[in-house]
Structures are given as C-alpha cells and as structure tokens.
Amino acid sequence: MPSFTLVPHSVSSRITDPIVGPLASAGVTPNMISVAGFSGNVAAGALAAGGYFLWAGVVMLLFSALDLLDGALARKTGAVTKFGGVFDSVLDRMSEAAVLAGLLFHYTTIGGHTQDIVLIYTAVVGSILVSYVRARAQGEGIDLREGLFTRAERVLLLGGALIVAHGVVRWALWILAVLSNLTAMQRVAVVWQRLREDDRTDATSPM
C-alpha cells in the first residue's frame, strides 16, 4: 500500500528555524514545548466543556501547531532522545483525548446527545488504535508511516469544526469515528502485508 496522507506531517526547516532558533537561545527544551502543547489542549478541552466551541477550536489548533516545533528544536539543538519521542507521543494522545473529553462532558451535561457521546467514544478508540498499531509494528521492526487519517488530519478536522459551528461538530465526530478506525485497519493490513513478505523472503533465503 502506498504511503499517502491528506495533509503534510512536517514543514520545511526554512520555516521552523527562525522560530526554534530564538527558543533554543532562551533555553527552551523540546519537552517544554511538548508540555506547552498539551497544556493548551487541556485548556481547549475546558473551553469545549463550557460550550465555547469557537475558542476551543482556536486554542486547539494554535497549541497543536507546537507539535511541529518540538522535533525541529530537538534537531536544532542536538537534543534528540528516545525518551523525548516517547514523551511527545504520549502527550499527543493525551492532548487529543483532552479535547474530546471536554466535548464529552459538554454533551453529557446538556443531555439529549447520545449519538455524539457514542461517536466521541468511537473516535477515541480509533485514535488509540491508530497509534497502538504503529507501536506494535515498530516492535516487529516495521517503520509504519502509512495512514490516511492520522493525528494531523484529526486535529485539523476537529479544530476546524469547532470554529465553524456547533452543528458541524457532529459531522466531524462521524468522520473521526469512521476514518480513525478505518486507518487502524489500514495499518493492520500494511503490517500483515509486510510481515508476509518478510516470511516469504526468509523462506526463499539460502541457509
């Protein structure tokens, strides 16, 4: 299966260097940026819980954009570590869950939104599975980059929907719920294909 994404998952160093340069000079670390991004998404979740969807979307997109900087700063300062990658990934998952938890609280409080609650649960499950399949694939030695609807797409969709209108959020949740789980299955299919090819290669290799 070809590697294909709906939106770019990285930006040119010509864009990030003018930003991360001053941050590095100020002593800011990649982990600090990761924590700042998570904190902003918690704030977005709180805004969503209060029904302030427009501001929740703005804050979510703004602080999620920091995810483009922590890796760039790590490379700029030579501070790339295995723990930093794990820490960033964990906070990414928690950031996404924080906004969806805020929506869950909002819909539970006002009542009459059973469909939205189920969609949020399904979207969370799909998000976790997308990351879990990649982690398990890496455990088998497979660098899994494929995925139609990964974090970048999910953040842009939900953040944009929150900004546009309350009524659009349900449609966004439908898309999140369906495509995130389809992406998890897509990744499982890619892993199956690659492991099958590895088995064939091992079977035909001379002893």
**Known catalytic residue: 67?**
no
- The torsion angles phi and psi of 52, rounded to 5 degrees, stand at -90, 70
| The one catalytic residue among 92, 116, 199, 202 | 92
- The torsion angles phi and psi of 98, rounded to 5 degrees, stand at -65, -45
**d(Cα 101, Cα 83) in Å, to the nearest integer?**
26
Please spell the DSSP secondary structure of 45-59, one letter per residue: HHHHHTT-HHHHHHH
Residue 99 makes CB contacts below 8 A (sequence gap 6+) with 41, 44, 45, 48, 56, 60, 158
Residues acting as catalytic residues: 92
